[in-house]
Amino acid sequence: MILTVTLNTALDLTYGVPELVPHASHRVSDMSERPGGKGLNVARVLSALGHETVVTGFTGGSTGAVLRELLAGLPTDATSPNAPAPITDALVTVAGNTRRTIAVVDRATGDTTQLNEPGPLVTADEWTALLGRYEELLTGADAVALCGSLPPGIHVGAYAELVRPARAAGVPVLLDTSGEPLRRGIAARPDLIKPNADELAQLTGSREPMRATRDARRRGARGVIASLGPNGMLAVTPEGSWQAAPPAKVLGNPTGAGDSAVAGLLSGLVEGLSWPNRLRRAVALSTATVLSPTAGDFDRAAYEELLSRVGIEEHAPAAR
């Protein structure tokens, strides 16, 4: 199984409004509610790809209860030819209330305005409980993804504390976060990081992808998969360096595209795919996520069609 860790899970609400007008009153015309936080999004895509997934992290309060109920009801389409694999809830219950995130979608333009609650205050005892649960779960994991922001109360070096036991247990670990938690987490030498251009620039001070990616490796990441948005991905790894790009730029909603890429990279790693094939999968999945009408879901037909059309270019060893 693949383990995903979401320290700051969220109940993701999407509100459609005819038009968002600041300082006015709006009646929400359509709404949806689903379990969120990056690691939960990654798990949903892994599940759709047929990979058994276990999710851990923190959840609590009345919003946490709704999140768990929705998570338990997730793999509903068992009659489909692509029946999703189970997602097991191994979240640690905290006293605080899981945050809500609200995506307000202007139905006139399709633009989204995002409001994110900070999340519950997590105590030292709750963090200790998570560490214990995590180390148990690592014994059965083929790979682990550490995803997203830290809730209040969790120290900024938390991801380093989660990378180390994974490395000690020989479980490949991907770290997908930003800012200081990323900087501190990298020092513990995760197998992979997947920053976007902004996160990479914030980490390294450079906006030149190859230079910034190499710098990130020097800081401790064994492999760096830099997401270049519509231009695909740049992978710099101990095995080589590649650039992967979708056949054409696509228009749509990029929400969740990065989480789909993480699911593509991890599933490809667990299945023993070559780097070029892992990158094909990651780029095809994230592009198919942009194309999906529902934020965070991917369009399966587009994904399958894109797989063979992702362009891969290997960089010469000198460029590594």
Q: Which residues are catalytic?
A: 259
Nearest CB to a copy of itself, comparing residues 111 and 136: 111
At closest approach, how far in Å is the CB of 110 from a copy of itself?
Answer: 10
Q: What is the pairing mode between strands 2-6 and 143-147?
A: parallel
At closest approach, how far in Å is the CB of 22 from a copy of itself?
Answer: 5
Residues 92 and 41: beta-carbon distance below 8 Å: no
**Total binding residues for a copy of itself by CB under 8 A?**
27
CA–CA dist 253, 197 (Å, integer): 18
Nearest CB to a copy of itself, comparing residues 40 and 245: 40
Which residue in 33, 31, 40, 35 sits closest to 7, CA to CA? 40
At closest approach, how far in Å is the CB of 51 from a copy of itself?
Answer: 29
At closest approach, how far in Å is the CB of 214 from a copy of itself?
Answer: 29
CA–CA dist 18, 15 (Å, integer): 10
Tokens of 28: 């929400």
Residues 285 and 261: beta-carbon distance below 8 Å: yes
List C-alpha distances in Å: 308 to 132, 248, 277, 311.
Answer: 42, 13, 10, 8
Q: What is the pairing mode between strands 2-6 and 53-60?
A: parallel
* Segment 78 to 137, residues that bind a copy of itself, using CB under 8 A: 102, 104, 106, 111-118
Nearest CB to a copy of itself, comparing residues 24 and 78: 24
At closest approach, how far in Å is the CB of 16 from a copy of itself?
Answer: 11
Q: Which of these segments, 58-66, 78-86, 167-175, 210-218, binds a copy of itself (CB under 8 A)?
A: 58-66
Nearest CB to a copy of itself, comparing residues 118 and 238: 118
CA–CA dist 237, 227 (Å, integer): 14
Contact pick of 66, 74, 129, 270 for a copy of itself (by CB under 8 A)? 66
Residues 141 and 165: beta-carbon distance below 8 Å: no
Contact pick of 5, 6, 9, 15 for a copy of itself (by CB under 8 A)? 15
Residue 196 gets which letter from DSSP?
A: B
List C-alpha distances in Å: 166 to 143, 144, 170, 251.
Answer: 9, 8, 6, 37
**Binding pattern for the stretch 19-38 against a copy of itself, x by CB under 8 A and - elsewhere:** -xxxxxxxxx--x-------
Contact pick of 52, 65, 215, 294 for a copy of itself (by CB under 8 A)? 65
Nearest CB to a copy of itself, comparing residues 13 and 233: 13
* Segment 186 to 225, residues that bind a copy of itself, using CB under 8 A: none
Residues that bind a copy of itself (CB under 8 A): 15, 17, 20-28, 31, 62, 65-66, 69, 102, 104, 106, 111-118
